[in-house]
Amino acid sequence: MEQEKVIQIRDLKVYYKQYRKNIFGKKRRHQVLKGVSIDVFEGEILGLAGESGCGKSTLAKAIVGMNKDIEGEINLKYSDTQMVFQDPYSSLNPSKKIGWLLEEPLRVDKERKWTPKERKEKVLEIMKAIGLPKEMLERYPSQLSGGQRQRVSIGVALMRSPKVIIADEPVSALDVTIQAQILQLLQQLNRDLGITILFISHDLRVIYQICNHVAIMKHGEIKEYGIPYEVYRNPQNDYTKELLTAAGIK
């Protein structure tokens, strides 16, 4: 039976809101994505790879509605897609304790009224899922390690039980040992909770390790797509070959 698509993107063009003047003095939009079409299947981890500035994060932000200047189609099976960002320290309010940060998505939930008791219970459930002791609920982000902060960031994304998570370079700021722990956590969430993950990374080795499919992006376009083993073993696009060579894989 064919897997259902949780994200369908067709001929997506995304523009920066900043405008540049052309030689005639008229302002024009700066195009970042140039007709991207891709599917994300239910229950998979899809890796999106490419060099910095190729449009990976732009695509992610367009999916969750953070980029508004777009053309083309973005069809989502679920409306509760959540983002996990590269730098957890900048995405977590440093003046709030971890318990407050985790409860916040439930306080602002427009679909359900959560009682204080329900919020506390959900926080403890998520703390267990992300592998952090409840004692950390009284700490501030600055009192946690980088890996612990990233776990909290993932926990915030999990609070309203999303079916899809977009992880934008979630381990690139962490050392190798902590990277492995966060990757293991993402795989566990995918396996145990059935959460679909769009995993954005410039690290082809990490993508090979955890992803079911990989899409290679360059200059706002998808250059190659397939199962990592097949793409890495027999790349069809010259840019993919360059990336693999630079990573020491080919």
Q: Which domain holds residue 74?
A: 1-79+202-250
Q: What is the pLDDT along the chain (250 residues), one digit of tens a residue?
A: 568 999 999 999 999 876 566 666 666 778 999 999 999 999 999 999 999 899 999 999 999 999 889 999 999 999 899 999 888 778 899 999 999 999 999 999 988 999 999 999 999 999 999 999 999 999 999 999 999 999 999 999 999 999 999 999 998 878 888 999 999 999 999 999 999 999 999 999 999 999 999 999 999 999 999 999 999 999 999 999 999 999 988 6
109: in domain: no
Q: Does residue 137 belong to any structural domain of this protein?
A: no
Residue at 121 is within a domain:
no
Mind giving me the DSSP string for 112-180? ----HHHHHHHHHHHHHHTT--GGGGGS-GGGS-HHHHHHHHHHHHHTT--SEEEEESTTTTS-HHHHH
pTM of the model: 0.92
HSE-CB at 126 with a 13 A cutoff on CA atoms is: 27
Q: How many domains is the chain partitioned into structurally?
A: 1
Residue 96 resides in a domain? no
